[in-house]
Structure formats: structure tokens, C-alpha cells
Amino acid sequence: MEQENQDPQSTRGRILDAAMNIFASKGYHDTRLDEIVEESRTSKGAIYFHFPNKERLFLALVDQFADLLERRVTEAIAPVPPGMKRVRVALESTLDTFGRYRRPAKILLVQAVGLGTTFEQKRMEIHDRFAGLIESYLQEAIEVGDIAPVDTEVVSYAWMGAIYNLVIRWVYTGEPTSQRILAALVPVLLQSVGYHDDE
């Protein structure tokens, strides 16, 4: 065991990493906190200091993955001027990130379904967060004249639904692959707002 008074952020990170590994190998319901304690080389007290229970620990992993996804998108679009090219890059980056992190995506999207209302609230929160991002990029595209005005709120939620359902199917079954989703879905979404990319 290691003393927890060194670096709380480092301890929290180790707990999250260990939890991801244990959830991946045993599933949410069969994971015991003692196993996370052992894998993270911490103590139950350290886990309870950062997370009041196993469910909150799991939801923190969901947040961590959402943060990673948002960071990847933000980094990818940074050099791209506002407009539909930025929307395209954001969509591509999202699908690419799911492709690179299929294992955590599967754990967090598939296992979480059985957690009931608490997870549904978290899923809605993340849905709202990413729909808001899409909406802001679409608003920019309207402002620069790339597309005609549309109801960006409705469009962003429709896009989120399409992306989410395809990604869920892919993490469950391995099909359609992220490359197929990217090749087929992105042009359809862009065309749905009247944008035809020449690239």
C-alpha cells in the first residue's frame, strides 16, 4: 500500500486506471472495490475519499472518456477555420477517437446501460454536452455562409442520435467498422444541412 497524502490527483488517476481494467475484465456488477484497491495500490479509504461508491467511480470513468473525446475534437478543429470544414473535422475526430478507444467505449457505453436512472441522467448530460458542441459549430457555419440557416438545436440532436446508435452497434458487434461509419455517415450528415463537400 502507498501513502495517499503524496499526490491526490495521481492517486485518483491510478484508481480510475485500475477501475477501467477491472471493469473491462470482470464487468461492472462483478467488480469488487477490493480488486480496485489491489490493482491501484491504494486503500479503500483513498477510493472513498475520491468516489463515494462504485457507481460514482464508474460515472467518473464516463466523464473521463467524454473529456478525452472533447479534447480530441477541440485539438483537431483548432487549425481549421469556422465553417463546415470544421464540422467535418469534428465528426471525423469523434469517430476516430471511438475507433482508437473501442475498449473503454464498449465498457462505458455497453455496461452502463444496466445502471438505470443514474446512468441515463449521465448519458443525457453527455448527449447535451456534445449536441451543444455540434450546435455551436453549425452556428459558425451559418454565420460564415457555408450553409443556409437551419434549426441547429434539432439538427445537432438528430446527428447525435445517428452517431450514438451507430457507435453502440459497432462496440457491441464490431460492425459497421469506424471506417465504414466515417465514409457513409459523415457525407449524409453534411448533406442533411445542404452542404456538399467537394473533397
Phi and psi, residue 56, nearest 5°: -65, -35
pLDDT at 24: 81
Domain covering 1-51 in this structure, CATH number: 1.10.10.60
Identify the CATH assignment for 58-192 out of 1.10.357.10, 2.40.10.10, 3.50.50.60, 1.50.10.150. Answer: 1.10.357.10
Kindly tell me if the per-residue pLDDT of 94 is higher than 70. yes
* Arithmetic mean of pLDDT, 2-24: 79
Question: Would you place residue 6 in the very low, low, confident or very high pLDDT band (cuts 50, 70, 90)?
Answer: low
* Arithmetic mean of pLDDT, 142-156: 97
* Arithmetic mean of pLDDT, 31-60: 92
More confident residue, 124 or 81: 81
Give the closest residue to 152 by CA, choosing from 192, 182, 183, 181.
Answer: 192
Q: Which residues contact 191 (CB under 8 A, 6 or more apart)?
A: none
Question: pLDDT exceeding 90 applies to what percent of the chain?
Answer: 53
Q: Hey, where are the domains in the chain? A: 1-51, 58-192
Helix locations, 116-196, DSSP H: 117-143, 152-173, 178-192
pTM: 0.83
Cβ(156)–Cβ(131) under 8 Å?
yes
> Would the CATH topology of 1-51 be identical to that of 58-192?
no
